């Protein structure tokens, strides 16, 4: 029997408190997590056809209104009736692993820590669990590894030959308040070190003062500095105050050529939430209808559990459709989430929960 990602229903697997390793004799239904296809052009792992952007067109968003209570009600449905169980849940969780940008953005990062993280990125799920899931012939890897610019070199070296791209934050992360020439130089440095994706952070003041020309011009300059590297625009939505601002900032970032729009740096008081994500996806969908271009989406900050992963996958599938369940158009910025997903997958194949400490990141 094969599980696909095309079923949702009510209910969750029963829990057991006894930890156990996967027995080599155990067998479970093989999981099918192969993409079902898309009309989008894929240019490599973790990449999609570039968004060329457009001229700034405020008329596309000036009159937008966002109904906060309706947005919250819609988002609230995702954690309840949009659940999956048994082999379907396992398949969705494997898909979530493939969409993770495995991240370390700590002040005490070292090349050794990045090397260990890269090893986990190559084999995010323990080999005995992978075998029990029937995925040994094509073991999953994460979508990317995300680090600071000075850690890009060690990450590229550690991931050589894996096909896993290195993403780097840049542009004065997390505040984005350094002078523009320095922010552009930081992008060029990360790209020169081998980063294939650049997660830039916008200047929030330009959104709060409605300086759309300034925001557009800066992101456009950042995209040019990226060269061939894909650009993810971090909106730091927790600092933008209203969902209208979130929608407008999303549209301007995409008009300026962002290949992904991303919720948060992970350093704000409020990071990724479902209502904010829903608002960004509606902007992304509208932009696609205006231009015909596909833009990716990345929630980040505060996503820690397998349950979080399932909620955001359900949101992507319902709002944008099956193509946005692949890492070329969807990423999850996370670190501790991976350990919980691995733990849930072990529960699927053994019927028992192990301690979270059995699933270290590195």
% of the chain with per-residue pLDDT over 90? 80
Helix axes 274-291, 243-255, angle to 10 degrees: 40
pLDDT band at 28 (very low <50, low <70, confident <90, very high): very low
Check pLDDT > 70 for residue 20.
no
Distance CA 222, CA 252 (A): 13
The total number of residues written for the chain in this structure: 362
pLDDT band at 357 (very low <50, low <70, confident <90, very high): confident
DSSP 49: -
- pLDDT tens profile 264-313: 999 999 999 999 999 999 999 999 999 999 999 999 999 999 999 999 99
Please identify which of the residues 95, 232, 298, 317 carries the catalytic annotation. 298
pLDDT band at 140 (very low <50, low <70, confident <90, very high): very high
Distance CA 102, CA 334 (A): 6
- pLDDT tens profile 101-111: 999 999 999 99
Longest dimension (CA), the chain: 62
Distance CA 13, CA 147 (A): 35
248 flagged as catalytic: no
Average pLDDT over residues 116-121: 96
Please identify which of the residues 120, 262, 317, 340 carries the catalytic annotation. 262
- pLDDT tens profile 195-205: 999 999 999 99
Please identify which of the residues 199, 259, 308, 340 carries the catalytic annotation. 199
pLDDT of residue 362: 56
Distance CA 166, CA 262 (A): 16
DSSP 333: E
Tell me the pTM: 0.87
pLDDT of residue 353: 83
* Burial of 322: CB neighbours in 10 Å, binned 0-12, 13-18, 19+: middle
Q: What is the mean pLDDT of the chain?
A: 87
Average pLDDT over residues 176-205: 98
């Amino acid at each position: 029997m094969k599980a696909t990602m095309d079923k949702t229903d009510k209910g969750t697997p029963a829990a057991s408190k006894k930890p156990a390793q996967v027995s080599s004799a155990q067998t479970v239904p093989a999981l099918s997590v192969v993409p079902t296809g898309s009309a989008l052009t894929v240019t490599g792992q973790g990449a999609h056809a570039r968004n060329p952007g457009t001229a700034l067109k405020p008329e596309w968003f000036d009159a937008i209104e966002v109904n906060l209570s309706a947005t919250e009600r819609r988002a609230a449905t995702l954690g309840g009736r949009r659940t999956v169980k048994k082999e379907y849940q396992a398949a969705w969780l494997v898909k979530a692993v493939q969409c993770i940008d495995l991240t370390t953005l700590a002040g005490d990062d070292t090349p050794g820590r990045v090397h260990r993280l890269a090893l986990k990125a190559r084999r995010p799920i323990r080999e005995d669990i992978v075998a029990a899931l029937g995925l040994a012939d094509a073991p999953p890897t994460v979508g990317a590894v995300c680090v600071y610019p000075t850690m890009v070199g060690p990450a590229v070296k550690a991931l050589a030959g894996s096909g896993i791209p290195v993403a780097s934050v840049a542009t004065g992360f997390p505040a984005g308040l350094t002078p523009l020439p320095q922010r552009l130089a930081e992008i060029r440095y990360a790209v020169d070190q081998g980063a294939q994706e650049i997660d830039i952070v916008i200047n929030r003041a330009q959104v709060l003062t409605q300086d759309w020309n300034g925001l557009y011009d800066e992101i456009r300059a950042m995209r040019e500095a990226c060269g061939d590297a894909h650009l993810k625009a971090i909106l730091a939505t927790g600092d933008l105050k209203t969902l209208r601002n979130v929608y407008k900032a999303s549209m301007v970032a995409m008009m300026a050529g962002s290949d992904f729009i991303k919720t948060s740096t992970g350093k704000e008081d409020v990071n990724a939430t479902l209502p904010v994500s829903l608002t960004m996806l509606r902007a992304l969908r509208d932009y696609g209808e205006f231009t015909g271009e596909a833009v990716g989406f990345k929630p980040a900050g505060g996503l820690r559990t397998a349950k979080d992963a399932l909620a955001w996958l359900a949101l992507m599938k319902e709002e944008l459709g099956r193509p946005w369940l692949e890492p070329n158009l969807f990423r999850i910025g996370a670190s501790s989430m991976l350990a919980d997903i691995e733990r849930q997958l072990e529960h699927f194949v053994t019927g028992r929960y192990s301690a979270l400490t059995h699933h270290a990141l590195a």
